[in-house]
Amino acid sequence: MQTSSVVPRLCFVTAFAAAALAAGTAADAQREQPWMESFAVDLKELTTEGENPYFILKPGYRLTLEGRESGKTARLAITVLQETMQVGGVETRVVEERETIGGVLVEVSRNYFAIHPRTRDVYYFGEEVDMYKYGKLDSHEGAWRHGSNGARFGLAMPGTPAIGMRYYQEYAPRVALDRAAVVSLTERATTPAGTFDQCVKVKETTPLEPLVTEYKVYAAGVGLVEDGALKLVSHKFLPAASR
């Protein structure tokens, strides 16, 4: 009787320990993976138009997200413009982000991206930033460009995300050092624009603000659907006359 009651318990304990060890090993592997600060890509191969499953870089595409910040309605509109821009010798696509809080403009940024046609990795080459206070231009905080003042391009979205990937999205010393870690490939996002399954979730941090952590969620065929408290309300291509 003692043998029959003990063996199953030992098996259970052993299985539990094995599972715990496997989980710990996976977690350790994720923690130990270094941050990618540079990327082996031939910049001459990059193009200004294309898409990967989670990032659409085509003129006229717009994402609109809304939520509550500081007790007020916040709205973020992200639009892929017709414009291109040379940044550090690389032709990039301009993507505008326009954010309002309580109907008042707080930030407009012009971001520079390019995509590799084979890997579909989307790279980030900098941004111009206009920060507003009480509706008036206040600063250009956070602006940077690849090739200037020691800044170099980062990875905005890998063409094939994988759990544990950790990469710098922007690398501008003392100015912008945002980085992302892929933490889920099976996230579900419920938004005013619909419910999306099998989404990629990334955890964003920066050594410039070590106590700040943000999360973003991307849906296949759509792009960004959650940005902190903001959730997608619409995604569409604008009419040609409105681009």
Q: Please write the tens of the pLDDT for every residue from 178-227.
A: 999 999 999 999 999 999 999 999 999 999 999 999 999 999 999 999 99
Shared-domain flag, residues 9 and 43: no
Shared-domain flag, residues 24 and 41: no
Count up the domains in the chain and report the number: 2
Encode pLDDT of 121-135 as tens digits: 999 999 999 999 988
Shared-domain flag, residues 189 and 84: yes
pLDDT for the residue 175: 96
Report how far residue 179's alpha carbon sits from residue 203's, in angstroms, rounded to the nearest whole number: 8
Shared-domain flag, residues 77 and 8: no
Shared-domain flag, residues 104 and 221: yes
Name the pTM for this structure. Answer: 0.85
Range of the domain at 51: 35-242
Shared-domain flag, residues 120 and 190: yes
DSSP 88: T
Burial code of 2-41, b = ≥16 C-beta within 10 A, e = fewer? eeeeeeeeeeeeeeeeeeeeeeeeeeeeeeeeeebeebee
Token pair of 183 as six digits: 């933490």
Shared-domain flag, residues 139 and 21: no
Residues 6 or more apart whose CB falls under 8 angstroms from that of 140 comprise 128, 129, 130, 131
Shared-domain flag, residues 207 and 127: yes
Encode pLDDT of 72-91 as tens digits: 999 999 999 999 999 999 99
